[in-house]
Every structure is written in structure tokens, then in C-alpha cells.
Amino acid sequence: MTSTPLTFEQKLANYADLLVRVGVNLQPGGKLYLNAPIEAASLARLVAQKAWEAGAVDVDVHYADQQLSRLMYDHAPQAALDYAPAWATEQAMHQLDDGYVFLSIAGSDPDLLAGADQERIARRSKVTAQQGRAVSERMGAFEVNWSVGAMPVPSWAAKVFPELPLDEAISQLWEAIFTVSRADRPDPVEAWRAHTEQLARVRDHLNGRRYQALHFRNAHSDIVFGLADGHLWAGGAWPAQNGVAGVPNLPTDEVFTAPHRDRIDGYVRASKPLSVRGTLIEDIYMRFEAGRVVEATASRGQEVLTALLDTDEGARHLGELALVEYDSPVASTGVLFYNTLFDENAASHIALGRAYSFNVEGGTQPATGAQALTQAGANDSLIHVDWMIGTPDTDVDGVYPDGRRESVMRAGKWKF
Amino acid sequence: MTSTPLTFEQKLANYADLLVRVGVNLQPGGKLYLNAPIEAASLARLVAQKAWEAGAVDVDVHYADQQLSRLMYDHAPQAALDYAPAWATEQAMHQLDDGYVFLSIAGSDPDLLAGADQERIARRSKVTAQQGRAVSERMGAFEVNWSVGAMPVPSWAAKVFPELPLDEAISQLWEAIFTVSRADRPDPVEAWRAHTEQLARVRDHLNGRRYQALHFRNAHSDIVFGLADGHLWAGGAWPAQNGVAGVPNLPTDEVFTAPHRDRIDGYVRASKPLSVRGTLIEDIYMRFEAGRVVEATASRGQEVLTALLDTDEGARHLGELALVEYDSPVASTGVLFYNTLFDENAASHIALGRAYSFNVEGGTQPATGAQALTQAGANDSLIHVDWMIGTPDTDVDGVYPDGRRESVMRAGKWKF
Ligand SMILES: [Zn+2]
Ligand SMILES: [Zn+2]
Ligand SMILES: [Zn+2]
Ligand SMILES: [Zn+2]
């Protein structure tokens, strides 16, 4: 028995279906907020159709235009950078109250803001992060299902495959996305069931261990990540507070938890470039003392990196530690995506800034969650920026409170 | 001395400049809400840049995707048609409070919803009109400046120039838009000053006359339009309630006022097809008795026309009577635009539904305006739909309360 490869249209339909049924797991009678780049209109329309067919009573599509951000930084008066009316987040708050699920389509030029005024970007980023803080917190607590997919917009595809003609670059990037998202499988929903079951097994194993710290080493890094007290590992599919299970990122190959804000010591080097605030940062190196970044360099984008760390005190501490096998599906494509949604699933990574409240016991409790997070040592900040540190030569040990050690990873693979 | 014709880029820049400086007349420190089809991103970006350069502190761009409407009508469950949360209009209310100016870019397939379920469209249109009622009323009272421009999106250009290859159809439609918007002039802002001064002369003349009715006749129409008591003629540029003068439509060649809800008798035939709710209606014929439509037929789109009239009682009465010379700039292009923004400036026209509150003395007063409008005989409805009735053989008489008559138009031209 042979099986015919799917056509592009079949894979695209599968992908839209996965975003709706697996990513945000839209229920009949549900409501969908969809954010997409204008270049992703074709995908947005497919998603909308799938959502209507799933019985949605609202599909609220907001299109984003990356060029408008660049224009703002290049042409707006200074007062515009500080303008952030409180009412601008009211709609998102209403939609959270009303149980909307939130789907975002990623896709932008990784170098969109290269050469723009970094001081203006940092200032504006801080203003909008403050403005969006309440919404971010509710999203971060997984109050409702949300997920992120992607669309190969031309400026992005050209960056990933600079040697190819644009049309081919776009279709190569689509194929890579289909592969890592399992949209090329005959039954992608079943493939995701099996995959998230496997991630759940890893997650449950680590949750059973109650390590106090992880010791992470490779040729360029030697660092001990203390974990938050009562930390919880997450990964794959899990229920939002309404009880509906979804998958917040498509693809996802990570399991992750909250490190302890003040218990990280050592040095670590990035294994991939990072596109953040529209600029590429390359060869990041950081040294930590008592959880705090005390040294941070990059061969490119140093100015952006420094501005990021200067956002607030929490930006110099970590909010996430994620483990990914070196030969994960994303890594196996051999593609450097210049997009965190993908690249973070090709390598173990850490995030500067805020921890997810569901990564700590009691962290999502309405009245007591904030205090639980602080007491557990989970970090807080306006930012949450992942960067990749995993390599094929990475060893990770789990360290118990009494100093006993166990192998967690050897040469970038699980060792349990 | 010869003058060089402007390049396409110069005309496009002029057009964006006109929308910002003449249309909404954005002031330094002002805030702009811009609504545009996704296909008009290039124009939206130009407008955004002009707005920043004019000193805007916010440029809030919302992209619309006509295909999403079609998908909704074709695939959404019935409950979606009735879904209209109150919070969805809160942002517009906040922006009105904060003095935003509102610019819309028109451009859609005139036949977008042909063949879709008319009952679903009528139902949804009514729900959204009710939902947007408070916003519409504040816009209708010209509380802040708003204006409408256009972009030749492919589906529209193809309809206007079906015999041309798509690229040529788009550039022909651009040229037509540039011409009627005076964007092809060396000093378009000055050209608009002169043009609106000319419209002001006509408007002031008619306002001085205090006619009780206008008698409108051509080969296919014979109808007396009673005018609202205390009616005011508008046209060209005039100040919003904040005192800043703008031009609500680019182009505009009309002067218009509020007819009396119950004082219209006779019959009238459309001189152009009308695209409304995504469907073309052709050869409209209507007969009025005591202001009410008692007979309404069309050779195409009858179902849409009937549904429109059945929206509410006010949909069977008129809210606007506009006079336009038969050889206006838009008419002189010889182009049938299938878009009211343009076609209404090629011919005298009337609108089913709501009257503008600024077309009646005292109509925009916060506390007493609604009562003033009712007492003056101005019509109210959820809809306002213009359709074209002017022809080169149209004669219009002004009728005084004592029955005395004066020529207002002869053979489609002003006669004063
Ligand atoms: Zn992660
Ligand atoms: Zn993260
Ligand atoms: Zn009009
Ligand atoms: Zn009108």
C-alpha cells in the first residue's frame, strides 16, 4: 500500500484546521479573535471558514501591517511614542470576559526595524507593554485558549532563503512549516494527539522529580538554573482555565518551567540568532550572578540587547527555562527560521523577563496568585523574550535539594 | 511656458495629502482613525506617513477584508448573524470623545455578495446598523471631521473596465480618481479651495431662497420634493462641531439638504445602477405618495431593493436630496464607477433613510436636536442609501410657500 503525498492546498487546509481545532480548540458556539499580517489574508480567510464551519458565533479578524510600525518609528512625533489610551485594551478585556479564543499568525521581516532609532523603539515598547500588561497577565494565566501559527510573508521568506527566488523561498518556507506542524500528515489531528501525549510523558516525568536546579553544560556554557519553589513543567496540550485543552504554539516541541529569579549562576551562549523588536541579535553571551544578568554581549544588535535588559529590573532575570531535544522536528529541518515560534522548538532556551503564572503551583489563583508567584521566586517583568541555548553537545543534570544528581539530558537527548 | 504632467507617484502623493489636509484636515497633535481595504495598504501607508508628518499623535489603521464578509454570509451559523456585543462600538465612542478624525478608503467588488442569501444579508445589516447607531448619529452630526477616499482594488477595477487587462484597469481607475479628486493638478490644495468656494456660492444661494419644495422633471421622472422646515443646504467644505473645516467626501460636487419625510409625491427613475450590500441594482423605479415609497421596482436586484425598503418605516422615506450638474467633473469622465462616492457626484440623487442632522436648523444641538429634526419633518431610519436620478434633460424648479416658482436647473445646469 502506498500513500500519495498531499497537495499544497490539502496541506494548507490541514494547517488551518489544526490552528482552529488543535491550537485554540474552538468549540461550537465559540468566538475567535484572529490577528494576522495583511500578507496572510489567504490563510486568515481559510481559518475564518474553518471557524464558521466549527460553529463559531464570531470571527473577529484584525490585520497587522508591519510597514506601519516602521513608518511610526521613522516619522511620528515624540508625543506619539508615549500615547497609549487606556481604552485601547478594553476590547481585549471584554473578549477575555466573553471567552474568546485568541489566534495569532506570525510572519514579519526579522530585520524590519534594522537601523531605526533604538531609543524610540525601546521607549515605545515599554509604553505598549505597560498598556497591555493586564491583558498579557490574563493571557499568561491561560484564562482562555490562545495559539500562534505562522504565514511565510515575502520579507520573512526572503530572509530565511536568501539564495532562492522569492516564489521558491515562500514555498520552501511553507513546506518547512507544514512539516514541523504535521500538516503534511494524512491525519494531522491524530498526529498531534500522539505528539502531545509524548510531550505529556516528559512533562509528567519532570514534574515527578522535584529537582531544585538544573545544571546545563556544553562547549560554550556552564550554568546552574535554580527552579522556582513549587515549579510546574508545562508542554504540549493543556487545559485553559475554562477546562478546554489547546496547544498554545504550533509547532511545539518544548517542555518548560519557571526558574528561580535569584538562583541562577554561570554563563551561557546563544546557539541561534534572535529576532527581537525587528532587529537580529547575534552571538549573545550572558553571565549570571544570583539570578541577575551581570554581563551581556552580542556581535550584532548589542544596542537592542542592552535596551531590552534595561526595560525594568525583571528584564535582567529569567522567567522560563525550556528543554528541547537537539534533533527535534524543527531542528531536523535544518532551517534557521529567524522566528522564535520555530527556533525555540529547535533548541533548549531561556526567556528574559516574566514567568508564566501556570508554571508555579497556585500561580493562576485569582486572589492569591500574584503572592504565590513572588514567594515561589518566579520572575516578573514587562518583557518575555526567549533565546536559544541548546546544542547537540548539551548535558543537563537534575539536582535534588540534598545535592544528589541525575542525568536529564546527555548529548542533547532525554536520558530517562 | 509649458507644464509637465505629474508622474503617478506625484499624483498618488497629492491624493494622500488631500485626504489628510483637505478631507479630514488633520491638525498638529491630532489623531487619525483610518479604515482601508487590505488591498489599499500602499495608500494607507502613504496616508499614515502624511499624518505623522502633519504631527499626528496617533494613526490607528484598521484593515477591512471584503472576502471575510462573503465567507460569513456563506458559512456562519445563524446565531452569528445576530451577534453584536455592545462593547464592539466602545472604541469608536472613545475615539469620538477624544476628537479623532475618521478617514475611510472605499474600494470593493460592487458585486461581492451577488448570489448570497439576501435574507441573511438583510438581517445582519439591520443588526449592525442598530449596533452602530450611536456612532452613526455622532458622525452624522459631524461632531469630528471625517472623510472618504478610494483605492482601485482589483475586483472593483475589473468591474469598471471589464474590457481591459487587470493592470490597465487599475491604472485607468487611478487616473479617473486622480482627475475627479484634482490630485493631477500642480497645486491640488489650492484647486480644492477654489472648488469648495464655488460649491459654497451655490449652497449659500439655495439657503437664501427658502423654497418649500423642488419640482424635479425629466423624460422619466416627475416628482415634487417637499423640503424639511428649516432645512439647510450643505456642500463642499464646512466645519465640524469643533470648528475645523473639512470635506467629507473626495471627490464632492453636490449640494444637498433634507427633504420633508411626508411631503414627496410623484415618480422617479434611476439614471445609474447602484451597488448596495454587495449587489448591483439596476433600473430602479419608485413612486411616492405623501413621502412614502408606494411602488419600487428594479430590472436586477429587486430582492435587495425590497429588503432595503423593509428595514424599517424610515427606509421608505427620503433623508437627502442632492443636486449635481449633469456635466460635473465626475460625470465628465464618462466612467460608471459602480461606487456611490463617485457616482453620486455625477448626478443629482436622493437617499432612502436617515437625514443628516446638520441639514436642519438646530438638528445637531445635543439636548434638543432629535426633537428639532422630528418637528422639521427630517426622516429617521437605520439606513442611508443614495441613488442617482439626475440626467442631462433634468429641469428643477424651486417652489415658494405661496406657489411662486423659480428655475433652479434647466437641462441639468444651474439656472441662477
Ligand atoms: Zn518556550
Ligand atoms: Zn517563552
Ligand atoms: Zn449626497
Ligand atoms: Zn447621501
Does residue A266 form part of some domain? yes
For residue B5, the tally of other CB atoms under 10 A from its CB is 8
In this structure, the answer to whether residues B160 and B217 fall within a common structural domain is no
In this structure, the answer to whether residues B110 and B17 fall within a common structural domain is yes
Q: Find chain B residues with C-beta within 8 A of A42's C-beta.
A: none
Record the cell numbers describing residue B353, joined without a space: 433613510
Does residue A2 form part of some domain? no
In this structure, the answer to whether residues A170 and A314 fall within a common structural domain is no
Interface test with B, best of A72, A120, A124, A127 (most B CBs within 10 A): A72
In this structure, the answer to whether residues B212 and B137 fall within a common structural domain is no
Check CB contact of A88 with chain B, cutoff 8 Å: yes
Q: Of the candidates A262, A270, A284, which has an alpha carbon nearest to the alpha carbon of residue A349? A: A270
Cα-based distances in Å from A106 to A17, A32, A215, B68, B140: 17, 16, 33, 19, 38
Check CB contact of B117 with chain A, cutoff 8 Å: no
Q: How far is the first Cα of chain A from the last one, in angstroms, to the nearest whole number?
A: 36
Record the cell numbers describing residue B313, joined without a space: 418605516
Does residue A3 form part of some domain? no
B85/A94 touch (CB, cutoff 8 Å), yes or no: yes
Give the span between the Cα atoms of B101 and B89, in whole angstroms: 16
Please compute Rg for chain A using Cα positions. Answer: 21
Check CB contact of A117 with chain B, cutoff 8 Å: no
Number of domains chain A contains: 2
Q: Find chain B residues with C-beta within 8 A of A62's C-beta.
A: 62
Give the span between the Cα atoms of A12 and A10, in whole angstroms: 5
pLDDT tens digits for A75-112? 999 999 999 999 999 999 999 999 999 999 999 999 99
For residue A58, the tally of other CB atoms under 10 A from its CB is 21
Helices of type H across B83-165: 90-97, 118-131, 133-140, 154-160
- Burial class for A244, CB neighbours closer than 10 Å (0-12, 13-18, 19+): middle
Q: Which domain holds residue A15?
A: 8-181
In this structure, the answer to whether residues A398 and A291 fall within a common structural domain is yes
Interface test with A, best of B26, B27, B47, B68 (most A CBs within 10 A): B68
In this structure, the answer to whether residues B80 and B121 fall within a common structural domain is yes
User: A132, A165, A181 — which closes off a domain?
Assistant: A181
DSSP assignment letter at B14: H
Q: Of the candidates B117, B182, B379, which has an alpha carbon nearest to the alpha carbon of residue B261? A: B379
A57/B83 touch (CB, cutoff 8 Å), yes or no: yes
Query: Which residue on chain A is closest to B52 by alpha carbon?
Result: A76
Q: Find chain B residues with C-beta within 8 A of A85's C-beta.
A: 94, 98
Which positions ≥6 away from A224 have C-beta within 8 Å? A213, A214, A215, A216, A263, A264, A265, A266, A399
pLDDT value of position A277: 87
Interface test with B, best of A35, A57, A120 (most B CBs within 10 A): A57
In this structure, the answer to whether residues B55 and B85 fall within a common structural domain is yes
| Residues bordering ligand 3, an ion, CB closer than 5 Å | B 254, 256, 322, 344
Q: Which of A49, A68, A94 sits opposite B45 (nearest CB)?
A: A68
Does residue A254 form part of some domain? yes
Which positions ≥6 away from A367 have C-beta within 8 Å? none
Cα-based distances in Å from A367 to A124, A142, A228, A363: 31, 16, 20, 10
Identify the CATH number of the domain in which residue B36 sits. Answer: 3.40.1830.10
CA of B350 to the centre of ligand 1 (A): 60
Q: Find chain B residues with C-beta within 8 A of A94's C-beta.
A: 85, 87, 90
A85/B75 touch (CB, cutoff 8 Å), yes or no: no
Does residue A1 form part of some domain? no
Record the cell numbers describing residue B399, joined without a space: 417652489
Does residue A58 form part of some domain? yes
Give the span between the Cα atoms of B96 and B118, in whole angstroms: 33
In this structure, the answer to whether residues B217 and B271 fall within a common structural domain is yes
B77/A91 touch (CB, cutoff 8 Å), yes or no: no
Q: Find chain A residues with C-beta within 8 A of B131's C-beta.
A: none
In this structure, the answer to whether residues B150 and B209 fall within a common structural domain is no
In this structure, the answer to whether residues A155 and A55 fall within a common structural domain is yes
pLDDT tens digits for A211-232? 999 999 999 999 999 999 999 9
Q: Of the candidates A217, A319, A307, A93, which has an alpha carbon nearest to the alpha carbon of residue B85? A: A93
Give the span between the Cα atoms of A208 and A206, in whole angstroms: 5
Q: Find chain A residues with C-beta within 8 A of B48's C-beta.
A: 68, 71-72
Does residue B1 form part of some domain? no
DSSP assignment letter at B110: T
Q: What average pLDDT does the segment A239-245 reach?
A: 94
pLDDT at residue A2 is higher than 90: no
In this structure, the answer to whether residues B109 and B235 fall within a common structural domain is no
B80/A94 touch (CB, cutoff 8 Å), yes or no: no
Look at the block and give the residue holding cell 489547546: A246
Give the span between the Cα atoms of B116 and B114, in whole angstroms: 6
Provide the residue-wise pLDDT of chain B in tens; the chain has 416 residues: 556 789 999 999 999 999 999 999 999 999 999 999 999 999 999 999 999 999 999 999 999 999 999 999 999 999 999 999 999 999 999 999 999 999 999 999 999 998 999 999 999 999 999 999 999 999 999 999 999 999 999 999 999 999 999 999 999 999 999 999 999 999 999 999 999 999 999 999 999 999 999 999 999 999 999 999 999 999 999 999 989 999 999 999 999 999 999 999 999 999 999 999 888 999 999 999 999 999 999 999 999 999 999 999 999 999 999 999 999 999 999 999 999 999 999 999 999 999 999 999 999 988 899 999 999 999 999 999 999 999 999 999 999 999 999 999 999 999 99
pLDDT tens digits for A359-393? 999 999 888 999 999 999 999 999 999 999 999 99
What SS3 string covers B238-307? EECCCCCEECCECCCCCEEECEEEEEEEEEEECCCCEEECCEEEECCEEEEECCEEEEEECCECHHHHHH
Q: Of the candidates A331, A340, A374, A334, which has an alpha carbon nearest to the alpha carbon of residue A355? A: A374
Q: What average pLDDT does the segment A8-32 reach?
A: 97
CA of B255 to the centre of ligand 4 (A): 11
Tell me if A274 sits within 8 A of A388, measured CB to CB.
yes
CA of B203 to the centre of ligand 3 (A): 13
Strand partners, B410: B413
pLDDT value of position A84: 96
Record the cell numbers describing residue A270, joined without a space: 546563544
- Look up residue B374 and give its amino acid: T
Q: Which of A45, A59, A65 sits opposite B61 (nearest CB)?
A: A65
Q: Which residues of B194-220 are buried (b: 16+ CB within 10 A; e: fewer)?
A: ebbeebeebbeebeeeebbbbbbbbeb
pLDDT value of position B366: 84
A90/B87 touch (CB, cutoff 8 Å), yes or no: yes
Q: How many residues does chain B have?
A: 416
Record the cell numbers describing residue B231, joined without a space: 432645512
What percent of chain A has a predicted confidence (pLDDT) above 70? Answer: 99
Strand partners, A287: A267, A295
What does pTM read for this prediction? 0.94
With left for phi above 0 and alpha for psi between -120 and 50, is residue A412 left, alpha or beta? left
In this structure, the answer to whether residues B169 and B299 fall within a common structural domain is no
Tell me if A39 sits within 8 A of A72, measured CB to CB.
no
Q: How many residues does chain A have?
A: 416
Look at the block and give the residue holding cell 489610551: A85
pLDDT tens digits for A163-205? 999 999 999 999 999 999 999 999 999 999 999 999 999 999 9
CA of A265 to the centre of ligand 1 (A): 20
CA of B102 to the centre of ligand 3 (A): 18
Does residue A20 form part of some domain? yes
